[in-house]
Chain A
């Protein structure tokens, strides 16, 4: 039989818990500032969505430098959630982002579940498409020593309380620094989260052997970049098997093939993080690359290959 030439352009659009994304490629929180930093270098409207730098109730100074160090195929950071605070964000940063049609997801973090609630209430009144609950920053001090994302009860408390005060889609950002990420994703789902995004960075460190000093001032930081991609893929795969809610997959995505691997193991959307620092055009290259892949493989709709991993029968 003759194959019809495929002239129809593939559809990269996805629905993510009620948020319409023109393509599945987002930029990850903390790697894209408040959008304005990159606006001269790429057309923000081409992105699937922007996730802002994490906002806290009060402005935060962040950690003492040195805050960043390059490691093999990765970087370690210890920024410590430096941000302008809720009021500063709404007053100075939001107007710029609203000029674009790209869906805007605001990442928030609190020291208590009550702070998440307050942030969600206030941001619920703004023109944004979703909230990402950052429960997994490895670079701040937690009262109980554990990050929220490491404690199922804490996850449940934060997510269920925030769920009650907002109708915005809730995305929960998970930590890889756990024994069983799938069970924690399940807790998110049961507590009312609409989406889980994973992974945040791995706690890690770098040492200068000559001086015998840690390179980061805070000793340990969060590892990101291509070095963590295989572990991120495995975690997205496991979470996809455990939950029904959509997944935003991330961890070292530098190319369209990287992004497609995440989609194939179960991510409905993907996010570029460290890649933005290496080449601000990576998100656009990834979008174009996914489109080319779909044409090559005759895929009309990107959603049709989400979780479509072809494992051998056992």
Chain B
């Protein structure tokens, strides 16, 4: 049996900013838009067979996080050119915000996903745990480890981080 779900456009109107934020935080300025785009296409394809319509926001954000993870892994597998323009491969971060997002992306995968789902996507630890296939206690630990790492990387540059 299928459940009554709202017209898909309503999800887009209500949640596109959350999805775009999350994709940006997990995949960065260039790739973030692609990740968000892919996540919406996946969600649209899966929508008619959705069996639980109670938390559509969390459903969308989980799809986005998984899309970002897949994206990250497929990039990591791709061979990298080694002798070309090594100094310019990564443009230097200009602002404190850019440095923050860069350090977030440099976190270990599960820490990164947990801290971003919790603070950027505003999901509760139980929802973060469901997205990561773990427990709420483990989610808390991942988020706290991530904040510790960010603070030590960013030093006093970013007093807004976890004060």
Question: A and B: partners?
Answer: no
Interface residues of B (CB under 8 A from A): none
